[in-house]
Amino acid sequence: MPEAAPVRDPRIRVMVVDDSAIVRGLIVQTLERDPALRVVARAANGEAALSELARTPVDVVVLDIEMPVMDGLTALPLILQRQPDMKVVMASTLTRRNARISLQALQAGAADYVPKPETGGLVGAEEFARELIAKVKALGGRGAAPTATTAPTPVTTRTAPLSPPIRPQVVAIGGSTGAPPALMTLFQALKGELEQAVLLTQHMPPTFTAMLAEQLERAGGRPAAEARDGEPVLPGRVYVAPGGWHMRVGQSRRVPVIRLNQEAPEHFCRPSVDPMLRSAAAVFGPGLLAVILTGMGADGAEGCRAVAEAGGRFVVQDEATSVVWGMPGAAAKTGLAEAVLPLDQIAPWVRRACA
């Protein structure tokens, strides 16, 4: 009788790359808590990681930034050149320099990042463990974007309203995994063509959001900064929710203003997209246009429902162009989206809606 084909281990195969043996070991222990994950390789620098990849099949790489011999930013394009569909999660401490490098890595093809705890090491850092495991699982196949042979998830969109929509006063954008490069694409495509204020909640830690705002200002050619509590929402400006704070919209003397708070995380995130959208819908009503970009989880779906119920409109990024079709998929499945669009079609749609 012919031999049966070997059964592939269904667990997600992970390689951990970090120059500290202690940190490497702790990350391995963290990942192996989850029965869906299996660490198949470890490396102390980028050069060793490339050698490991030559002999070990891997689905996801957790890649440190600062390492001797070959650092993470140097190794990243070589890893992707060797295996273009590889998902790479950058791991770094929350310094301004590392935030800048992590954002560069996302532009260069990294799928996501996770901030290492700065004090007390990784032992007992439950938030780090939860975030790392969730991102590796999402990128490794549970929620990741479909392959060319995978049929897209069917969704229904909202029927056209009886009366024509009013011109939006504000555009609100939410995103997570894979969204920073998508934001750069979107802002570059809208450069010089959008008068409305833009509210942005991107799942990012402190320091990262300030760097993101700087990049968006360069890409979009309009003022962009972390939002400040109490400042008015003005046309032509971009307000980025600061890491660690929910960004809402309130009113002061009938003028829309930013309200920041540190209430409990929603969807394990602070900032979260839902509080931004719920509050903006209450203030702007039919004058609100929302966009949900790639990201894991379901943050933004409830907020999008509030937008639609208030007479506003929202569109979502499609499954094929999303790194993870969690957030946009959850919003699309409400059945209230005006459109489900590839990334390169979102800017033209927003431009027409805001004209």
The catalytic residue positions are 176, 203, 299
Q: Is 21 helix (H, G, I), strand (E, B) or coil?
A: helix
281 Cβ contact list (under 8 Å, min separation 6): 288, 303, 306, 307, 309, 310, 312
CA-to-CA distance for 228 and 231, rounded, in angstroms?
A: 6
Q: Identify the CA nearest to 225 among candidates 203, 107, 236.
A: 236
CA-to-CA distance for 93 and 293, rounded, in angstroms?
A: 26
CA-to-CA distance for 348 and 189, rounded, in angstroms?
A: 8
- Helix (H) or strand (E) holding 26, with range, is helix 21-31
Q: Identify the CA nearest to 26 among candidates 74, 64, 72.
A: 64
Write the DSSP symbol of residue 232: B
